[in-house]
Amino acid sequence: MSFSFLWAAVVPGTFQADGPRTKKAIALTFDDGPGLFTERVLELLDKHKVKATFFMNGDQVRLRPQLAREVAKRGHEVGDHTWSHMNFYAFEKKNGVEKTREKAREEIRKSKIEIEKTCGVKATILRMPNGYQRPWMKAVAKEFGYALVNWTFGEDWLKMPEEKMTAEYLAQVRPGAIFLFHDGGKGREKTLNIVPKLIEKAREKGLAVVTVSGLLD
């Protein structure tokens, strides 16, 4: 699954799902943690000498504070993924735009406090659950000092053969790409197998592997 949008710098209130194609780099992102696979992802990234961006849910940060701190301690970027990973598309359909806007503020505010208190870092980027995006979300993100970031390509939650999934990820390796993976949830073995191959493919193409902010800077 991919998104295609024009690039903009990491500035509060902006939205992007792609980096500049003139920059010889890609970014790896991991959502929904810290979770059961976060420690293994960290070990993998250390092994390959790569820094990535982790979009954390506030409730998971509260559940696994030591692991959340470890992500930041190892030099990875921490992004906000709201408090509880609720489905905002479904919420909006049932409750309308105004209640959804207020719910988004509530979820972001709560997670921002938890992330900053626990990790000791100030996040500058926000990714909404399920890539939720509406024109007014940029203004909401700006209230919290965030830029909105989605992704160029990601599908590690889908049920498909690992060989096919790997091929589809590798086919998307090009300057400016932002890749979505997950360290939260269960059954992320495919992710652990695909990421090293993606790093190798990027380096074969002369592309650095960096954080989202590093890519969009």
pLDDT tens sequence across 72-110: 999 999 999 999 999 999 999 999 999 999 999 999 999
Torsion sign across C-alpha atoms 31, 35, 36, 39:
positive
Take residue 172 and report the two structure tokens written for it: 């998307």
pTM over the 0.85 mark: yes
- CATH classification number, 15-216, choose in 3.40.50.1110, 1.10.1760.20, 3.40.50.2020, 3.20.20.370: 3.20.20.370
Average predicted confidence (pLDDT) for the chain: 94
Whole-angstrom Cα distance, residue 88 to residue 39?
A: 29
Q: CB-based contacts of 201: which residues, under 8 Å, 6+ apart? A: 170, 173
Take residue 78 and report the two structure tokens written for it: 């921490």
14 pLDDT exceeds 90? Answer: no
Rg (CA), the chain: 16
User: Is 143:180 a contact under the CB 8 Å cutoff?
Assistant: no
Whole-angstrom Cα distance, residue 64 to residue 51?
A: 21
Triad 105, 111, 114: Cα angle to 5°: 140
What single letter denotes the amino acid at residue 212?
V
Q: Going by DSSP bridges, is the β-strand pair 147-149/77-80 parallel, antiparallel, or unpaired?
A: unpaired
For residue range 115-141, list pLDDT tens digits in order: 999 999 999 999 999 999 999 999 999
For residue range 139-179, list pLDDT tens digits in order: 999 999 999 999 999 999 999 999 999 999 999 999 999 99
Q: Which residues are paired to 30 by β-bridges?
A: 54, 181
- What per-residue confidence (pLDDT) applies to 6? 32
